[in-house]
Amino acid sequence: MTARLVTTARPAIKAVVFDLDGTLVDSRLDFTAMCNDIGWPAGTPLLEQLATVKCQTEKSRVEQIIQQHELAGADAASWIPGALESLQQLSAQGWPLAILTRNMRLATQRVIERLQIPISLVLTREDCAAKPDPEGLQLIAKQLQLDCAEILYVGDYLFDLQVAANAGSLSCLYLNGVNQHFISQADFHISHFNQLPALVSQLSARY
């Protein structure tokens, strides 16, 4: 499960924070289609590009397209295999859990309610600067009365690994078959969520 060894002394992990789309749930979001509908080149970072739009009419148009896609994704979302069982096991063991997502609050709440995701501490892009800015993890750490170094952040994309690094947290990459090229930037990786509780237990006593 180890992607690269963390050799410096660190405090034990005391909480686990998750990305949402592509990590806990599959929302079937098609970012290429979103870019096409907006009229931007495929692969454009949507939130970062949106922040550069000065015309309010154009900004509103883009926001509406993104919102439509995110709400449709929320309605189509299903659990990533093993994710619910992993959350239940971690929760039963007393681990504080949280979600930090780049999604909008309305879509995030819809997914959480539809799938009954057992996590109450949730930050969306309306609550803090979007990943990879570390503000979200810093706010979660403050609410849990922890240091960011005591958090393991689990995600499936580069922004997830970057936000952990920027906050001074450890990162765990959930491998989905198309993101193996990010492994070198992750502290740890798992190929199935049934591996996560053992990793968390290991990290709680590792350092």
Rounded Cα distance, 204 and 26, in Å? 28
At residue 206 the predicted structure's pLDDT band, cuts being 50, 70 and 90, is low
Q: What percent of the chain has pLDDT over 90?
A: 74
Asked whether residue 145 falls in the same domain as residue 169, the answer is yes
Burial of 116-143, coded b for 16+ CB within 10 Å and e otherwise, reads ebebeebbbbeebebbbebbbbbbbbee
For residue 70, give both structure tokens: 């995110």
Asked whether residue 50 falls in the same domain as residue 120, the answer is no
pLDDT digits (tens, 9 = 90+) for 60-69: 999 899 888 8
Please indicate, yes or no, if residue 192 is contained in any of the structural domains.
Answer: yes
Instruction: Judge whether residue 130 has pLDDT over 90.
Output: yes
Please indicate, yes or no, if residue 10 is contained in any of the structural domains.
Answer: no
Please indicate, yes or no, if residue 202 is contained in any of the structural domains.
Answer: yes
Instruction: Judge whether residue 34 has pLDDT over 90.
Output: no
Asked whether residue 57 falls in the same domain as residue 120, the answer is no
Asked whether residue 197 falls in the same domain as residue 136, the answer is yes
More confident position, 180 or 7:
180
Asked whether residue 62 falls in the same domain as residue 131, the answer is no
Please report the pLDDT score of residue 87 as a whole number: 98
Please report the pLDDT score of residue 46 as a whole number: 85
Asked whether residue 72 falls in the same domain as residue 133, the answer is no
Highest mean pLDDT among 19-28, 53-62, 167-176: 167-176
Asked whether residue 168 falls in the same domain as residue 86, the answer is yes
Instruction: Judge whether residue 96 has pLDDT over 70.
Output: yes
Mean pLDDT of the chain: 92
Do residues 20 and 156 lie in contact, with contact meaning Cβ atoms separated by under 8 Å?
Answer: no
pLDDT digits (tens, 9 = 90+) for 2-17: 444 444 567 899 999 9
Strands 170-174 and 188-190: parallel
Please indicate, yes or no, if residue 127 is contained in any of the structural domains.
Answer: yes
CATH code of the domain containing 141: 3.40.50.1000
Asked whether residue 55 falls in the same domain as residue 65, the answer is yes
Q: Which domain does 140 fall in, by range?
A: 15-27+78-206
pLDDT digits (tens, 9 = 90+) for 100-127: 999 999 999 999 999 999 999 999 999 9
Mean pLDDT of 69-88: 94
Structural domains in the chain (count): 2
Asked whether residue 49 falls in the same domain as residue 122, the answer is no
Asked whether residue 65 falls in the same domain as residue 117, the answer is no
Asked whether residue 125 falls in the same domain as residue 39, the answer is no
Please report the pLDDT score of residue 7 as a whole number: 45
Question: Residue 193, Cβ neighbours under 10 Å: how many?
Answer: 21
Please indicate, yes or no, if residue 106 is contained in any of the structural domains.
Answer: yes
Asked whether residue 22 falls in the same domain as residue 43, the answer is no
Residue that finishes a domain, picked among 76, 97, 112: 76
